[in-house]
Chains A and B, each alone.
Chain A
Amino acid sequence: MALPSYASPLERIWHRSYLVICALIFIFLIAPILVIIPLSFNAARFFTFTREMLSFDPAGYSMQWYDTLATFGMASPDAPRDANWFADMWANAKWVNAAKNSVLIGILSTALATVLGTLAALGLSRPEMPFRRLIMATLISPMIVPLIITATGLFFFYSSACLPEGSWLQQAFSPILSNRGCLANTHLGVILAHATLGVPFVIITVTATLIGFDQSLNRAAASLGASPRTTFFRITMPLILPGVISGALFAFVTSFDEVVVVLFIAGPDQQTIPRQMWIGIREQLSPAILAVATLLVVFSIALLATVEILRRRSERIRGITPS
């Protein structure tokens, strides 16, 4: 943003200070995220830079907090690191189990939200859709309603909506429901809840992709003899795929980062990474939390890069030049 040549000296000074202000705001935005990365390699149990760290003394840095992540909760963490040690870690380490749960819940809830959300977005983008505005508002509302309210409602619902005790239904569903035949304290319950929270993101990104969608492509395919099914998979799907994938990534991140609902409806078997972090932060903030946080920051950088690439690809294949 260059200043015009007729700018007065006062305006030049203001412009300079404006740039400085913007730089400070950018620092405010990004510094809190970057500052935890070096601190997670702290050799001491502090949350600030020690003298050794500031003088780049290798003794001030260590990987011990990352090691803690692997060993915390293990039966025999100090055993020699052979196959048995890894088996122990895979089975018992709390952070490893939390990661397994988070990934499982994240993937299944994302799949559910993406399939249902994409179909709904296709319907909502048709001009003849009845009650479009009301239905759209309902489907987006899980994103707007405070999580604590959703969590409270789900808590009541999951503990009251149970299959009748001893019935064949309860027998049939016993592997995925709790002993009492309820959704509370089950993986399925968390997956359904997280799918609900992920749906608005899928709808928003897919409908945004469909705004620029040329309906005559579908008609062209139909006129050339393609069945509706072929038209969908060969014409529509490839074109909206970038929107679908970025919606799915949003849904996955929502599930991967969600803690309030999990706190209310999940049991000890559904420990996820955010819940483990929540416990860690509340009980005693240890630098191990910063090690997890660093890994999550790296993860979000990867996701951000993916979404950016997808967005550009989507604009290119739909013929929208970046303005």
Chain B
Amino acid sequence: MTPLLSVRDLHTRYAVGKQVLRAVDGVSFEVGRGETVGLVGESGCGKSTLGKTVLRLVPSAEGTIELDGADITRLGDRAMAPHRRRMQMVFQDPFGSLNPRHTIRALLDTALRVHRVSDAAERDRRVHETIAKVGLPVDSLDRYPHEFSGGQRQRIGIARALILRPALIVCDEPVSALDVSIQAQILNLLVDLKRELGLAYLFISHDLGVVRYFADRVLVMYFGRIVESASYATLWRDPRHPYTKALFAALPSADPTHKRGEPPIKGELVTTEQVRGCRFHSRCPAATDRCRAEEPVLRPLGEGHHAACHYA
């Protein structure tokens, strides 16, 4: 069976002044039906661009994107339209992602009208059904976004993503702008929706703790590339790439008796430098001359476990 989403050797480039920023630089992965794939990395690593490229919101430079086996990489707007219903997005900023000038009803109804659900009663039924699914009262529909709290807005954002009954939702940092107590509500809601509707998620986050909790499989991204991919359990038990290990080590434990060690890596991700060899070598505690000269490729380490490190 073909996977729901299949991405092959995808590249996305931005022009920054006269320089070219390779935000996504040769990424391949798949998302199965009903599967949650977590994409984790630090700010500037290209994870958000990858999500938007997959949704065809940002043009790709090379590579292919297949949805249900159909190549959608170069489809025009019109040909793309039917595929759009199949994959949707939930945004990080619950304030900026809802048009302040439209009521919630208009927000949801327009999406249906654009996709030619012409029967007004049917549209109304689906709008009501969707708003109930995300746990908001029906009277929310005639209000404007600014009348809601951050968590409620994020529910509205999820409703908008659900209204076309997609198979895949790209969640771009859906909880990082929310308070902890609200994060739990939204994560639980996403889990419930996945169970009820058989959704697949591409879950993008900088927080390895949240990703490991929420994903079935995790991709770790660094400087435009996937450096490790594994099931959540394998990654937790046996992280192999030094960067993944560093991310785990940097997570502050809520147990004060659990003493933290020295931060394993120093410095920060710098996206403007062109590097030879491994992209991580300048920050890697175990880097050798080989790492400085030769770029490692993702190689299999066991069942479904890949890492791009010479010494993994």
Do A and B pair up? The answer is no
Residues of chain B whose beta carbon lies under 8 Å from any beta carbon of chain A: none
